[in-house]
Amino acid sequence: MFRTMRIYRRSLGAHFRSLLEYEADFWVLIVAGAMFNALNLLFLSAVFAHVPALNGWSYAEAVLLMGVWSVIGGLSPLFFEGVWRLSWMVNQGTLDYPLVRPAPVTVQVFSSGIGLHGVGDIVTGGAMLGWALFHVDVDWTPLTVVIGLVLLASAATIHLSIIAITNAATFWISGPHPFLAIAVHTFEDMIKYPLTIYGAGIRAVYTFVVPFAFVTFFPVSWLLDRSAGWVGLLGPLVAAYCVWLARTVFRRGLRRYDSSGH
Amino acid sequence: MKPYLSMFLMSARRTFAYRLSALIGWLGGGAILISSLSVWHALLGEGAIAGYDWPMMKAYLVVAWAAGSIGASQGDWRMADRIREGHVATDLTKPVDYQGSRFAEHAGGLATEIPAILIAASAVIAFTGSIPGPANVFLFLLSFACVVPLKFCFTYLTAMLCFWTHNFMGISWAKDAIIWLFSGGLIPLSMLPVWLSVPASLLPFAGITATPAALYLGQATGAEAARLLGLQVFWVLALWFGARLLWRGALRALTVHGG
């Protein structure tokens, strides 16, 4: 386990250093990542200048939800960017290299890239999250903090697992670009708003089929003690299920991999 | 004119060749349309905001989404990649105008973008009920037609920055974010704080969403409509010829390795 972690860290570190070579690009990416979050926040601020609540959610509550989404969304480019290159590796046959090296294939794939715009997401999202936590009405106890952190970790796990699963679809849907993953990822962006604003069909799909609701809506509802907030406590279970599914899909997929036949 | 026409047709055919990627692109665009419709539906449930009621806002969002779709099937990457990889050197040897050729390609995307816009608009009507029609069809279409060259100019100008920088992704995102905010795509400009809405109404970005939407909804009529259209046309010309100037400087910064 420690060895795996070390390999992951060193591989990621190598990619990070290679990015630092182009200092201007480094800053452009971080700022660009931050800009979209700033605009989402501006949207909420402009709207809440006219209305007191969005579907029963106050300004601070809506900002909290959006902050959670930005922080979690920023984790994937920063620590998981390599998985987006899987379809290219499979298509070109370069997945052969990780397969013959003495380290877990997934670790090598996941750490084969780093997207610095994630820093912008995490910094701006963290600021939103921090500000909102001071302004929402929560009865803080040590237990709330612990459960909150567990739910946040579960949310991140669910988000990353779904990215891994949709990208692993490339073993079945051939092609150099992860179209399915990109499409699903775009739809995930809808969870920056409270799920209740959407129709029943979307709510059902986001809860039972692709459990994006457990990334932002349910854990935040739990923290704010809203109705059906208890569903948020199922987060760790959903996360475990997603990890299991990602693992299974990845293993089956790897077994199907037959190189590109040079 | 003939070479540009064939480039236009070729580009139209290319988007059909990459059907799956185009389809996924539209699906992603659909997600944006769904989330913006849903959030406004929830917000406007209590009553109108800043003069926008639900049917009006629906029309606004469809116009904004349609404007966002223009150029989307071509993406920003084609020209940027050719500059970064040095293929632009072969483009330069061709006896056609570079900017004109890129514009012909950009416009070729309309072959898939216009049907997509019509499908999206029909879907919105089917799922959420009717939306008000354009207050003045002629003025709206005139203004919407200006969106095509306007968006082209922004893409072209940003791609040209690749002559100086290597990372296009960050620049392209920054451009998208700026257009999103200042065009009225994020939120109608009148709902922004004054220190943002006043400069936004004068900048060229307003021509992408705010102006066609204002003409569609009939918020601007008579002299005001003429002023808005005039400003839009002014910016199209200014950016088009500004891009030509920048292009001359950019060529001096071009380095192509190998050969």
What tens digit of pLDDT does each residue of A134-176 get?
A: 999 888 899 999 999 999 999 999 999 999 999 999 888 877 7
Residues B191, A190: C-beta atoms closer than 8 Å: no
Residues B173, A35: C-beta atoms closer than 8 Å: yes
Residue with tokens 């962006």: A189
Q: Does the structure show a pLDDT above 80 at A261?
A: no
CA distance B6 to A103: 52
Task: Give percent of chain B with pLDDT exceeding 90.
Answer: 40
Q: Among residues A193, A46, A121, A206, which one has the least CA distance to residue B36? A: A193
Interface of B with A in 15-44 (CB under 8 A): 20-21, 24, 27-28, 31-32, 34-35, 38-39, 41-43
Contact between B228 and B215 (Cβ < 8 Å): yes
Q: Is B165 an interface residue toward A (CB < 8 Å)?
A: yes
CA distance A79 to chain B (A): 18
pLDDT single digits (tens) A87-112: 888 888 888 888 888 888 888 888 88
Task: Give percent of chain A with pLDDT exceeding 70.
Answer: 99
Q: Is B142 an interface residue toward A (CB < 8 Å)?
A: no
Residues B174, A36: C-beta atoms closer than 8 Å: no
Contact between A181 and A203 (Cβ < 8 Å): no
Specify the 3-state DSSP secondary structure of A54: strand
CA distance A1 to A112: 19
Contact between A189 and A210 (Cβ < 8 Å): no
Q: Search chain A and give the residue with CA nearest B33.
A: A190
Write the ipTM: 0.87
Residues A46, B170: C-beta atoms closer than 8 Å: no
> How many C-beta atoms lie closer than 10 Å to residue B151's C-beta?
22
Boundaries of every domain in chain B: 2-253
CA distance B129 to chain A (A): 15
Q: Which of B20, B31, B46 sits opposite A189 (nearest CB)?
A: B31
Phi then psi dihedrals of residue A57, to 5 deg:
-100, 130
Helix/strand/coil (H/E/C) assignment for every residue in B177-216: HHHHHHHCCCCCHHHCCHHHHHHHHHCHHHHCCHHHHHHH
Contact between A43 and B187 (Cβ < 8 Å): yes
Residues B177, A43: C-beta atoms closer than 8 Å: no
Count each helix (H run) and each strand (E run) in chain A, helices first.
12, 0
Q: Does the structure show a pLDDT above 60 at B258?
A: no
Q: Which of A35, A43, A177 sits opposite B21 (nearest CB)?
A: A177
Q: Among residues B33, B60, B27, B57, which one has the least CA distance to residue B44? A: B57
CA distance A142 to B83: 56
Residue with tokens 């599914």: A245
Q: Please report, for residues B51, B56, B189, the alpha-carbon distance to residue B219 in angstroms, rounded to integers and kept in the order given.
A: 10, 11, 13
pTM here?
Answer: 0.88
Average pLDDT, rounded, for chain B: 87
Contacts of B186 in chain A (CB under 8 A): 39, 42-43
Q: Does the structure show a pLDDT above 70 at A130?
A: yes
> What's residue B142's pLDDT?
94
Q: Which of A25, A47, A186 sits opposite B166 (nearest CB)?
A: A25
> When comparing pLDDT for B201 and B75, which is higher?
B201
Contact between B118 and B159 (Cβ < 8 Å): no
Query: With bands split at pLDDT 50, 70 and 90, how would you rate the model's confidence at B256?
Result: low
Contacts of A56 in chain B (CB under 8 A): none
Q: Which of B24, B180, B192 sits opposite A179 (nearest CB)?
A: B24
Q: Which of B174, B180, B187 sits opposite A31 (nearest CB)?
A: B174
CA distance B47 to chain A (A): 9
The mean per-residue pLDDT over the stretch A226-255 comes to 92
Best probe of the A interface among B167, B179, B197, by most A CBs < 10 A, is B167
> What's residue B259's pLDDT?
47
pLDDT single digits (tens) B63-121: 999 999 888 877 777 788 888 777 888 888 888 888 898 899 888 888 888 888 999 99
Contact between B212 and B65 (Cβ < 8 Å): no
Query: With bands split at pLDDT 50, 70 and 90, how would you rate the model's confidence at B140?
Result: very high
> What's residue B64's pLDDT?
94
pLDDT single digits (tens) A46-86: 999 888 888 889 999 999 999 999 999 999 888 888 899 89
Give the list of residues 6+ apart from residue A259 with CB closer than 8 angstroms, or none. A93, A95, A96
pLDDT single digits (tens) A111-124: 888 888 888 899 99
